[in-house]
């Protein structure tokens, strides 16, 4: 009977076409040893560590039929962060180099292979699935999701790295990545530009936490000019990578979170990209902010949580976010659209000068809020300069009626520190004229009281009472 069962199991495993390469810290780019489902001795041969956690990396569609250059980079970063872990790369290259819709359909079989492999580890030697973290890129994210939905017990975590969009955007949860596929599912969306059925990366949220860096559409440093510069510098070898620059950025953001442990990028919950751009979502209360990548806080809500952040164009990607709020006083009714400004921030640690931003609208006696970010940590804010730039083209209306607003205060809130600072004009109020020199603001003597348990509304009422006093 026993013999019969074993042979039956072996027959089941015969259907598995995917290969499970246990990579090593010494040779992150080489397939040196394969774990074979059904063959217990392959674990010992490959020095699988039964007591530590396991990362399972699943690649996506491939034109060349070869691993892409990010694979060893991710393996290496995982081992750097978790030296005792087992990093397994799933090789489904043969199925991944077909016509895209064919490869997309194969994700079901790949997911099934991975689930059988994981179930085997769990059943044969009680390997805890709480130690299993699947990381899937593009089509691999959906394969990971299918794997997670098929294992008999739930795996600990699935990270979806820009899960593929085409054929999956409108697919039902069982055949794509979804929050039910693991105890915790986090997703990075980095290349979701275009209409939903055309977008390379899936647009809709498919995890417990879905992070859209730089809005999720397209990533900084991935434009054509940048691509050409890199080609000139590095030769033509990386062209393939440049084409997928934004798509693959999801992986590099995750690698960044593994390598720069002390510099986690913060993402902020927001209903829309537009509200985030206005700086309205930099709150950390009630889990509204989170770390991007490896050290994400596992927040599970009934509805998907969409989060946003800005990043640099290269690693380390972290930036520092600020909401700036300005009330523009004006004697006459003036409304201008798409106005270019420059803002400079000076702090205890550093400074960041002439950060350009455009206000979609400025009008007399209205308050406007917007988001800016710095690449350096400027520390506690001390001073701020604001300049209203000339239009690049000559405008007769500007020439006839030079525009100016009066500004008394500028309010700034830091996302990373959650600190709020109010800046005052040194003369009570400053004139901000289009095309003229910058207005300077310093920290007001009266600062907002730090928020106590009483809640936000009460605190802000107190602030405005103090300021008007």
Binding residue numbers for Ca(2+): 176, 181
Catalytic residue among 247, 252, 321, 430: 247
* 162 in catalytic set: yes
Q: How far is CA 37 from the centre of its chain?
A: 34
Nearer to ligand NAG, 53 or 420 (CB): 53
CA 28/CA 83 separation, integer angstroms: 12
The three-class DSSP label of residue 425 is strand
Minimal distance in Å, beta carbon 454 to ligand NAG?
A: 29
Burial of residue 297 (CB within 10 Å: 0-12, 13-18, 19+) is: exposed
- Pairing between β-strand 182-188 and β-strand 209-213 as defined by DSSP bridges: parallel
Catalytic residue among 18, 138, 149, 246: 138
* 247 in catalytic set: yes
Minimal distance in Å, beta carbon 50 to ligand NAG?
A: 8
Minimal distance in Å, beta carbon 418 to ligand NAG?
A: 31
Residue number, nearest CB to ligand NAG = 52
Minimal distance in Å, beta carbon 86 to ligand NAG?
A: 9
Minimal distance in Å, beta carbon 56 to ligand NAG?
A: 17
Q: Is 128 in the site for ligand NAG (CB under 6 A)?
A: no
CA 200/CA 164 separation, integer angstroms: 6
CA 234/CA 248 separation, integer angstroms: 18
Q: Give φ, ψ of 133 to 5 degrees.
A: -125, 115
Residues 336-375 touching ligand NAG, rule: CB under 6 A, are 364-365
Q: In what order do the strands lie in the sheet with 182-188?
A: 34-35, 19-23, 86-91, 54-58, 132-137, 155-161, 182-188, 209-213, 305-309, 266-269, 289-291
* 189 in catalytic set: no
Nearer to ligand NAG, 97 or 364 (CB): 364
Q: Is 333 in the site for ligand NAG (CB under 6 A)?
A: yes
Catalytic residue among 76, 113, 119, 162: 162
Q: Is 330 in the site for ligand NAG (CB under 6 A)?
A: yes
- Pairing between β-strand 209-213 and β-strand 305-309 as defined by DSSP bridges: parallel
Half-sphere exposure of 391 (CA within 13 A, CB side): 13
Binds ligand NAG by CB under 6 A, chosen from 1, 2, 51, 99: 51
Cα dist from 442 to 306, 345, 384, 404, 422, whole Å: 35, 10, 6, 20, 8
**Where do we find the tokens 């009483």?**
454
As a whole number of angstroms, the longest Cα–Cα distance in the chain is 97
Using the rule CB under 6 A, give the single segment among 34-42, 132-140, 329-337, 342-350 that binds ligand NAG: 329-337
Residues 141-180 touching ligand NAG, rule: CB under 6 A, are none
The three-class DSSP label of residue 413 is strand
Q: Is 5 in the site for ligand NAG (CB under 6 A)?
A: no
Contact characters 10-49, ligand NAG, x per CB under 6 A = ---------------------------------------x
Q: Is 332 in the site for ligand NAG (CB under 6 A)?
A: yes
Contact characters 84-123, ligand NAG, x per CB under 6 A = x---------------------------------------
Q: Where are the alpha helices (DSSP H) in 235-368?
A: 239-243, 245-259, 273-277
The three-class DSSP label of residue 439 is strand
Minimal distance in Å, beta carbon 82 to ligand NAG?
A: 9
Using the rule CB under 6 A, give the single segment among 123-131, 304-312, 325-333, 343-351 that binds ligand NAG: 325-333
Burial of residue 5 (CB within 10 Å: 0-12, 13-18, 19+) is: exposed
The tokens describing 90, both together, are 């799933």
Q: Is 335 in the site for ligand NAG (CB under 6 A)?
A: no
The dihedral region occupied by 121, where left means phi > 0, alpha psi between -120 and 50, and beta the remainder, is alpha
Residues 218-277 touching ligand NAG, rule: CB under 6 A, are none
Using the rule CB under 6 A, give the single segment among 159-167, 248-256, 330-338, 379-387 that binds ligand NAG: 330-338
Binds ligand NAG by CB under 6 A, chosen from 229, 295, 331, 458: 331
Residues identified as active-site: 138, 162, 247
Sites of contact with ligand NAG (CB under 6 A): 49, 51-52, 84, 329-333, 364-365
């Amino acid at each position: 009977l026993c013999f019969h069962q074993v042979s039956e199991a072996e027959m089941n495993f015969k259907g598995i076409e995917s290969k499970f390469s246990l990579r090593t810290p010494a040779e992150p780019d080489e397939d040196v040893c394969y774990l074979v489902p059904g063959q217990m001795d392959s674990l010992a041969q490959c020095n699988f560590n039964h007591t530590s956690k396991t990362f399972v990396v699943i690649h996506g569609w491939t034109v060349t039929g070869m691993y892409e250059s990010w694979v060893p980079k991710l393996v290496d970063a995982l081992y750097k962060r978790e030296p005792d872990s087992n990093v397994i790369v799933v090789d489904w290259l043969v199925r991944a180099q077909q016509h895209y819709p064919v490869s997309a359909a194969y994700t079901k079989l790949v997911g099934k292979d991975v689930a059988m492999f994981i179930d085997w580890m769990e059943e044969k030697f009680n390997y805890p699935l709480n130690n299993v973290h699947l990381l899937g890129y593009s089509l691999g994210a959906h394969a990971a999701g299918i794997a997670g939905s098929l294992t008999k017990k739930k795996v600990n975590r699935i990270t979806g790295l820009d899960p593929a969009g085409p054929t999956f955007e409108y697919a039902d949860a069982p055949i794509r990545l979804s929050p039910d596929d693991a105890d915790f599912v986090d997703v990075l969306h980095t290349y979701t530009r275009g209409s939903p059925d055309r977008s390379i990366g899936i647009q809709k949220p498919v995890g417990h936490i879905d992070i859209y860096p730089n809005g999720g559409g397209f990533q900084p440093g991935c434009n054509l000019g940048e691509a050409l510069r890199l080609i000139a510098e590095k030769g033509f070898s990386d062209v393939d990578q440049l084409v997928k620059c934004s798509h693959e950025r999801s992986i590099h953001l995750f690698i960044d979170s593994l390598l720069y442990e002390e510099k986690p990028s913060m993402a902020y919950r927001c209903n829309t990209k537009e509200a985030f751009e206005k700086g309205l979502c930099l709150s950390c209360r009630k889990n509204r902010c989170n770390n991007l990548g490896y050290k994400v806080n596992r927040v599970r809500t009934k509805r998907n949580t969409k989060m946003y952040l800005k990043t640099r164009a290269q690693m380390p990607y972290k930036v520092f976010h600020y909401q700036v709020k300005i009330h523009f006083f004006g004697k006459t009714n003036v409304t201008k659209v798409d106005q270019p400004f420059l803002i400079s921030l000076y702090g205890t640690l550093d400074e960041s000068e002439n950060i350009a931003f455009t206000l979609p609208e400025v009008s007399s006696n209205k308050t406007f809020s917007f988001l800016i970010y710095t690449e350096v940590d400027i520390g506690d804010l001390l001073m701020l300069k604001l300049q209203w730039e000339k239009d690049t083209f000559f405008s007769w209306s500007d020439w006839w009626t030079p525009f100016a607003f009066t500004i008394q205060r500028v309010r700034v809130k830091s996302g990373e520190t959650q600190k709020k600072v109010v800046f005052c004009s040194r003369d009570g109020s400053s004139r901000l004229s289009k095309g003229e020199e910058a207005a300077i603001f310093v920290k007001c003597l009266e600062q907002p009281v730090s928020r106590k348990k009483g809640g936000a509304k009460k605190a802000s009422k107190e602030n405005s009472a103090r300021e008007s006093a």
